Structure 1
């Protein structure tokens, strides 16, 4: 199993890396040219594998990487590697390296795979390598500078790979944090092969939604914590580049949801694995920055549209649209800058290290923990639902938060519960969250409009019109809090499998 931490840096910092006191002189420098192979229908990619042939010091090296996971930049994958006599894959030799692993042998047994393989893209880099031993860990540090090429398309490569040759994976995070003190770095959650496949598929940066989380029935807490937190981190980090590069509201929304899920997960595990306060503070900071940008997106793309549909509302909307657009864009830039900051990189590295070091210390059954936790969350939800009333808007907000926490918790542990009861429970909580969320959007919009009025006094008339219209709409179409409460009280927790 190959374990690597991948870090991005700007080319102007390459010389700083090469003369960093932690590294010394490079052990060796190599020019590496690799061709990546797959079928026209991307058979290997669809099965989670990558196959390359790379020339290293005059020899052709065939490598297949497959399966594994990525958590906070830490890539763990199966790897089979050996010398071949040509620049094209030798599948027979690869089968011998794989041995008796039926999953990956089946991938290679695809009909006519040998005949259908073709080179899809090329990776050409100059690699500076340092072999280090730090705190009992043997780490290979590689600085790769070059490009990925597909026909007429090229994308640059400028990254550091920290590969654990022997020792504790947490040592990679510790070393990266030391480098971060002197060099601006960013975590990379995709490898060169994945970047090459992006050129092949021309997929761009689509919003990434959370994947269903799988846990075995006999999973322990030490299994559950990294699985749950890792799932949240994937949700956050797979939307990271799109938030930086694009203005798609959905990618920002998905990243903010990922942070909310992470915060819920941290709180969920708090009784058995308290998160350090400094780490919680940084997670809260990230949520605040993304939340500010998302709130303006919602008002711009959703809430203000209600005014457009009203008699005489078009003129008011046109006056507000420009101001709201400018503010939303500014908040989006602030969010992008936060993701490019050393504070964000430090957060992700520290969180990854904390997960690795904390999980082995936990004892107990994940199923038992989830049952107790869900019972507590359900009880809290019913208590808050019973206290909702129209004269206290905060009461509906507290119920919405309780519903969200319960939904996230069951989504984390859904694999341990019976399907039918789980679907019913999650559907009911999502519906309650949606109804109460629409009410909350109007409350948030009113607050944002007040801020806008303070910043732009000449637009006060249009802003007050919008505020009045939204308040009237809220009064005319209030959420039926009694009905929502009744539905929640009728819910029954699902049973474990």
Structure 2
């Protein structure tokens, strides 16, 4: 199993890296040109594998990487590597290396795979290497500078790889945090093969939803904590590039959901593994940065269109819509800047390190822990629902938050419960969230428009019209709090699967 941490840095910072006291000089240099192979229908990619052949010191080396996981930039993948006598893959030798590892052997035994393989893209880099001892761990540090190429199209590469040869994965984070004190770095959750496949498929960045999490029934609390927090980080970081480079509101929404899931997960384990205050503060900061941008996206795409423009006469609200859209774009730029900041990189590295060091200390059954946790969250949700009041919007919002936390918790632990009862519970909580969410969107819109009127007094008339219209609509179509209370009161917690 290969374990490495991937980091991005600007080419102009390469000299600073070479002169850094932790690195110590130029290192040894290699020129690496690797061709990646797959079938026209991307058979290997669809099975989560990548196959390359590259020349190293005059010898052809064949490598297949497959499966594994990525969290906080830490890539853990199965790796099979061997020398071959040509620049084209030798599948027979690869099968021998894989042996009886069933899923990967079945993938390589696909019909006519040998005949269908073709080179898809080239990765051409100059690599500088250092072998370092860090806190008792042996780390290979590699600086790669070059490009990925397919049919004349190129994508630049300038990245730092920290590969754990021997020792503890946490040492990779510790080393990266030391470098971050002097050199701007960003975590990379995408490897070279994935970037090459993006060229092949000619796809950009798209929104990524949370992946389903299947905990084994015998998982410990430590296993659960590491898996759940890792799942949340993956959700967040899978949307990073899209938020930075794109404009799709859904990518920002998914990343914000990822942070909310992370905060809920940290609270779940607070009694057994409290999050350090500084770390919790940075997670809150990230949520605030994304939340400010997302709230304006909702106003633009969902809430403001509910205002009847014709009621104001002519195009009276067109200027307001343009003003809100301009503010939304500005907030998204601020969110992107936050993701490019050293504070964000430090947060992801520190959180990854803390997870790895904390999980082994947690004993006990995840199944028992989940039952107790779900009971507590369910009870808290019912108490808040009982206190909901039509004259107090905050009371409904608190119930919505409680329902959301209960939903996230069950989604984390769903594999430990009977599927039918899980689906029924989640469906009910989702309906509660949606109904109270529409109500909250209108309340938030009124506050945001009020603030906008103070900043842009020249548009106060149009703003106050829209605000009044939305408030009137909220009053005319309030959430049915009694129905929500009744629905939650009759809701039963899912049954354990064993």
SS at match of 1:203: coil
8 Å contact from structure 1 (residues 316, 466) kept in 2:
no
Which residue number corresponds to residue 337 of structure 1?
337
Contact 2:125 2:144 in 1 (8 A): yes
Q: Displacement of 1:12 after TM fit? A: 0.6
CA offset digits 1:371-418 (Å, max 9, x no partner)? 000000000011111111101111100000000000000000001110
Aligned to 1:401: 401
Deviation, structure 1 residue 310:
5.4
1:385-464 map, 5 Å? 385-464=385-464
Number of the residue aligned with 1:484:
484
- 1:380–1:402 contact (8 Å) kept in structure 2: yes
Mapped contact 1:308–1:317 kept (Cα < 8 A): no
Runs of 4+ in 1 over 3 A off after TM superposition: none
Q: Give, in whole Å, the separation in 2 of the partners of 1:317 and 1:199.
A: 42
* Backbone CA RMSD of aligned residues: 0.9
Q: 1:292 — aligned with what?
A: 292
1:193-342 counterparts in 2 under 5 A? 193-308=193-308, 311-312=311-312, 315-342=315-342
Structure 1 residue 26: Cα displacement: 3.5
CA-CA distance at 1:164 after TM superposition: 0.3
Q: Residue 187 of structure 2 aligns with which residue?
A: 187
Deviations 1:15-52 (A, max 9, x none): 11111111112431000000000111111111111100
Q: Distance in 2 between matches of 1:193 and 1:254?
A: 24
> TM-score scaled to structure 1, two decimals?
0.99
Deviation of residue 307 (structure 1)? 1.2
Partner of 2:123: 123
Counterpart Cα distance in 2 of 1:91 and 1:314 = 69
- 1:307, 1:313 within 8 Å by CA — same for their partners in 2? no
Name the residue aligned to 2:474. 474
The structure-2 alpha-carbon separation of the partners of 1:366 and 1:279, relative to structure 1 and needing over 3 Å to count, comes to same
- Aligned counterpart, 1:31: 31
Where does structure 2 lack aligned partners over 5 or more consecutive residues? none
CA offset at residue 319 of structure 1? 2.3
In structure 2, the partner of 1:372 is 372
The alpha carbon displacement at 1:309 in A equals 5.6
Number of residue pairs matched by the alignment: 497
Write the mapping of 1:90-109 to structure 2, written as runs, cut at 5 A: 90-109=90-109
TM-score (norm 2): 0.99
- Give the direction of change, closer, same or farther, for the CA distance of 1:313–1:183 in structure 2 (3 Å limit): farther
Deviation, 1:325, is 1.3
Alignment correspondent of 2:16: 16
Gaps of 5+ in 1: none
Question: Take 1:153 and 1:429, find their aligned partners in 2: how far apart are those partners?
Answer: 47
Sort the Cα spacing of 1:314 and 1:167 in 2 relative to 1 into closer, same or farther, 3 A.
farther
Q: Is the contact between residue 216 and residue 416 of structure 1 (CA under 8 Å) also seen in structure 2? A: yes
* Residues 266-286 of structure 1: per-residue CA shift (max 9 Å, x gap): 001101110000000000000
**How many Å separate the matches in 1 of 2:317 and 2:369?**
50
Partner of 2:151 in structure 1? 151
